[in-house]
């Protein structure tokens, strides 16, 4: 599990095609990250298995089933990526967390620089609309953000300038894609509604 708080970035130094996807060689910008990861790491919000750690590089597997539903397959050599280490057990019970399991890909439609933040408008497949709630949290390329505007197939988030500069958002342009993970509680509720009738007569009175 992860917090969706990005403290580290990396550079995709090599993208190796394998039989069932890719292996990424990522050069990290802070050696502290290497001390916090063992088996898994989140790259642009996607939980990936670590194959090897060497000097200041991390090698991860990107299976085909993951590259198909994320934007990882479109990344090019020397592009920046958001990196996050899994949280420790005590943190799991104190904070909101994300799983690193990407639900779909969004597309950046507009970026506005406001007086105290950057506003990013992102479109998404309409099939996922039931997962989004105004003011709820959503994870965009691994960063936990509040939804500030919501329409039929797009939403907006406001991003603090410090977060903007510390993450790959600073490199983003309209037309770029982002990985989206929706709020886990929203997905839980939608799942209940989809698998139950919820009719009034299903509730009996004593």
State pLDDT tens for residues 79-106.
999 999 998 766 555 566 889 999 999 9
The per-residue pLDDT for range 167-184, each reduced to its tens digit, is: 999 999 999 999 999 987
Report the predicted TM-score, pTM, of the whole model to 2 decimal places.
0.88
Q: Is 107 in contact with 142 (CB distance < 8 Å)?
A: no
Q: What is the mean pLDDT of the chain?
A: 89
Classify the C-alpha dihedral 121-122-127-128 as positive or negative.
negative
**Phi, psi angles (nearest 5°) of residue 169:** -60, -30
193 vs 19, residue with greater confidence? 19
Q: Is the pLDDT of residue 17 over 50?
A: yes
């Amino acid at each position: 599990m992860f917090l969706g708080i990005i403290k580290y970035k990396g550079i995709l130094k090599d993208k190796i095609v394998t039989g069932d996807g890719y292996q990424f060689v990522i050069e990290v910008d802070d050696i502290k990250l290497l001390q916090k990861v063992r088996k898994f790491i989140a790259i642009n919000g996607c939980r990936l298995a670590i194959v090897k750690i060497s000097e200041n590089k991390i090698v991860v597997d990107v299976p085909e089933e993951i590259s198909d539903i994320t934007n990882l397959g479109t990344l090019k050599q020397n592009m920046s990526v958001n990196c996050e280490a899994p949280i420790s057990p005590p943190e799991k019970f104190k904070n909101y967390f994300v799983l690193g399991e990407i639900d779909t890909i969004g597309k950046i439609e507009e970026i506005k620089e406001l007086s105290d933040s950057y506003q990013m408008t992102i479109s998404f497949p309409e099939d996922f609309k039931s997962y989004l709630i105004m003011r709820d949290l959503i994870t965009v390329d691994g960063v936990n953000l509040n939804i500030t505007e919501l329409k039929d197939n797009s939403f907006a988030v406001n991003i603090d300038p410090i977060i903007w500069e510390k993450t790959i958002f600073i490199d983003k342009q309209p037309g770029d894609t982002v990985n989206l993970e929706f709020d886990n509680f929203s997905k839980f509720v939608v799942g209940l509604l989809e698998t139950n009738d919820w009719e009034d007569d299903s509730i009996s009175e004593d």
